Amino acid sequence: MEQIIKQLIEEVKECFESEYRNQVSDQEALGIAISKYFKWSGEDIFKTAQSAFEDSNYHTFNEKFEKIWNDED
């Protein structure tokens, strides 16, 4: 799976002008891909981030993150 994600990141970076390409971080490129994939749906992006934090054992942070998200409604 890691190789697939690396390939996706590189493909997103290819969309940038060559003089800016090296300035785009992997995190930024992946964030752009996620945002576009979910058609800029904040709810879907939030759920994706929440799943990533949960998988990384950031349970306490994730509870706070969810509270902030819910308070925004």
Rounded to 10 degrees, what is the CA torsion of 20, 21, 23, 25?
A: 150
Residue whose token pair is 């759920």: 47
Which amino acid appears at position 23 of this protein?
Q
Domain boundaries, the chain: 1-37, 40-73
Q: If DSSP codes are grouped into helix, strand and coil, which group holds residue 45?
A: helix
Task: Give per-residue pLDDT as tens, 5-36.
Answer: 999 999 999 999 989 899 999 999 999 999 99
Using an 8 Å Cβ cutoff, are 15 and 35 in contact?
Answer: no
- Residue 13 sits at the vertex; the CA angle it makes with 12 and 15, to the nearest 5 degrees, is 70
Using an 8 Å Cβ cutoff, are 45 and 34 in contact?
Answer: yes
pTM: 0.86
